[in-house]
């Protein structure tokens, strides 16, 4: 599909976006470098990555590229090309020059990240070695400009159930990303966020998830080209009604009237990453709830 001039400009300025997929009941969101060509978004990842496995089961996906005052949300079906699979080789051949142009554009646009991988080669786990990488192609069905917002500097906030080093690195990150499901497809929005006593509160810049629905908050500290230095966390759970935006207003030093509509997120699973080290934890309140329900 053809993008508007504004959407194309946002894609051209940024280098990293947020990819969201439906992982059973809860969405999974994590960052990815990308390129746009031939009406599709192109990415690469490990064949052992969760998103590769999920995309084969349910290809519905969304990708948010944040341009600051505006962002572009791309949605569609995620296709996996595995160079070691004959079926993928046949699909790539049938795609004609599209596949080759897409990958050539990816390599040129993301040369700094490819160089960063080369620098990290000695410490790469086997799963992330070049011979274990696959290509992801997001075939677009929707492209929408969404409202952004200025994010002032924020007081420290502790992401729950993550290693101490990850918590320290993310404490001062002001801009988070909220994800929920709408019309069968993931929705992603920039979001203000705060954590008090393990309770996650967030305020998407536009849109509003329903209380009782599944969702996620992602907080990420990017690096310009070294994957091994990227740190982030994806908090997944169920949205619940919030008592108000006072906590977010205090964290960002703004008045309550400037806070978008607020909703709480009850954490059920937290996945964090520090370079290529990935951990998943179940927060204590969620464990207690499971015991009570059992």
| CATH assignment at residue 128 | 2.30.110.10
Query: Do 31 and 196 contact (CB within 8 A), yes or no?
Result: no
pLDDT at residue 154, rounded to an integer: 97
pLDDT at residue 285, rounded to an integer: 67
pLDDT at residue 287, rounded to an integer: 53
Distance between CA atoms of residues 155 and 122, nearest Å: 37
Task: Please count the other Cβ atoms lying within 10 Å of the Cβ belonging to residue 206.
Answer: 15
pLDDT at residue 292, rounded to an integer: 39
pLDDT at residue 80, rounded to an integer: 98
Domain that holds residue 207: 5-293
Which DSSP letter does residue 147 get? E
Q: What is the pLDDT of residues 121-132, one digit of tens each?
A: 988 999 999 999
pLDDT at residue 289, rounded to an integer: 42
pLDDT at residue 284, rounded to an integer: 77
pLDDT at residue 147, rounded to an integer: 86
Specify the number of domains making up the chain: 1
Distance between CA atoms of residues 155 and 157, nearest Å: 7
For the chain, the first-to-last Cα distance in angstroms comes to 48
pLDDT at residue 242, rounded to an integer: 92
pLDDT at residue 279, rounded to an integer: 95
Contacting residues for 241 by C-beta, under 8 A, at least 6 apart: 211, 263, 264
Distance between CA atoms of residues 81 and 44, nearest Å: 9
pLDDT at residue 278, rounded to an integer: 93
**Ranges under pLDDT 70 in the chain:** 285-294
Two tokens at 251?
């964290």
Task: Please count the other Cβ atoms lying within 10 Å of the Cβ belonging to residue 172.
Answer: 12
């Amino acid at each position: 599909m053809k993008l508007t001039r504004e959407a194309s400009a946002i894609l051209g300025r940024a280098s990293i976006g947020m990819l969201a997929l439906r992982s059973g009941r809860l969405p999974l969101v994590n960052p990815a470098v990308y390129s746009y060509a031939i009406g599709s978004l192109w990415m690469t990842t490990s064949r052992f990555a969760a998103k590769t496995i999920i995309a084969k089961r349910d290809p519905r996906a969304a990708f948010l590229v944040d341009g600051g005052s505006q962002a572009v949300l791309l949605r569609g079906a995620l296709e996996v090309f595995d160079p070691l699979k004959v079926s993928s080789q046949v699909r790539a051949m049938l795609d004609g020059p599209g596949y080759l142009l897409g990958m050539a554009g990816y390599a040129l646009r993301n040369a700094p990240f490819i160089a960063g991988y080369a620098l990290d080669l000695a410490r790469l786990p086997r799963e992330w070695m070049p011979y274990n990488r696959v290509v992801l192609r997001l075939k677009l069905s929707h492209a929408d400009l969404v409202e952004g917002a200025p994010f002032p500097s924020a007081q420290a906030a502790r992401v729950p159930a993550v290693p101490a080093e990850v918590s320290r690195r993310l404490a001062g990150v002001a801009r988070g990303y909220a994800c929920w499901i709408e019309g069968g497809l993931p929705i992603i929005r920039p979001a203000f966020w705060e954590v008090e006593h393990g309770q996650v509160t967030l305020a998407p810049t536009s849109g509003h998830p329903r209380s009782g629905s599944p969702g996620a908050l992602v907080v990420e500290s990017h690096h310009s080209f070294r994957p091994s230095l990227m740190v982030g966390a994806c908090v997944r759970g169920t949205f619940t009604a919030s008592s108000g935006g006072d906590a977010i207003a205090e964290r960002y030093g703004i008045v309550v009237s400037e806070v978008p509509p607020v909703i709480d997120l009850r954490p059920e699973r937290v996945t964090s990453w520090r370079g290529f080290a990935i951990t998943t934890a179940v927060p204590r309140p969620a464990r207690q709830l499971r015991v009570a329900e059992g």
